Amino acid sequence: MFFYSLPILFNNIQSVSPTECLLMAIALFVLLCVSVPPHEQNWQPKPYNNFLLASWLGGMSLYWVFWPFFLLLNVSLVTTDLLAKNGAITVSGWDDIHFVLLFPIAWWTTSIWRCSSNTHSYVWAALARLATILVFIEYGLKLLIRIDYPRIFFNCEDLLLDYGSCF
């Protein structure tokens, strides 16, 4: 997350400084620490056969809900951005990949918020919730770059078929 978008935000767009972003993230983290539900003392995983259903219903450990999808999502986002910057995929293809990833992100966010009490530390629960919020902020930032600043991010000289998307 934020591998290509934050440098563009800070260097080219310059609408917010790194210090302001850090202060907003810390304030959001503190708010999430306060709002995390208390840990259940005798929590046991629910006996579901389906991992996706158990995660959706809040019956899994936060560790097993957060890390696999977080790693897969970040690899997908960095790979997609790298391909778009190199001109290997078009701007429309970049849009399609982000749109396809949006639905699993909605499942993941719901699962994280429901499984937040299934950890021993409220700090980990708050960090997991913060990560889900930051994914949506990343999507908003990418949408801003896509609509208002496409020539900064995309290699518009190499895009012959989709050149109109760079304006």
pLDDT for position 1: 78
pLDDT for position 164: 59
Judge whether 25 lies within some domain.
no
For helices 18-35 and 122-148, the axis angle rounded to 10 degrees is 140
Alpha carbon distances (Å) from 144 to 26, 31, 47, 111, 157: 23, 26, 43, 27, 21
pLDDT for position 167: 60
Containing domain of residue 133, as a range? 51-166
Judge whether 30 lies within some domain.
no
pLDDT for position 29: 94
Judge whether 21 lies within some domain.
no
pLDDT for position 26: 95
Judge whether 112 lies within some domain.
yes
pLDDT for position 157: 65
Judge whether 40 lies within some domain.
no
pLDDT for position 15: 81
Q: By the 8 A CB rule, do 81 and 146 touch?
A: no
The structure tokens listed for 39 are: 């840990």
Q: By the 8 A CB rule, do 90 and 77 touch?
A: no
pLDDT for position 31: 94
Judge whether 119 lies within some domain.
yes
pLDDT for position 149: 82
Judge whether 114 lies within some domain.
yes
pLDDT tens across the length of the chain (167 residues): 788 888 888 888 888 889 999 999 999 999 998 988 887 766 677 677 888 888 888 888 899 999 999 999 999 999 999 998 888 888 888 999 999 999 999 999 999 999 998 888 889 999 999 999 999 999 999 999 888 888 888 866 655 545 556 66
How many domains, the chain?
1
Span 59-71, pLDDT tens digits: 888 999 999 999 9
Span 128-157, pLDDT tens digits: 999 999 999 999 999 998 888 888 888 666
DSSP 12: I
Judge whether 94 lies within some domain.
yes
- pTM for this model (two decimals): 0.86
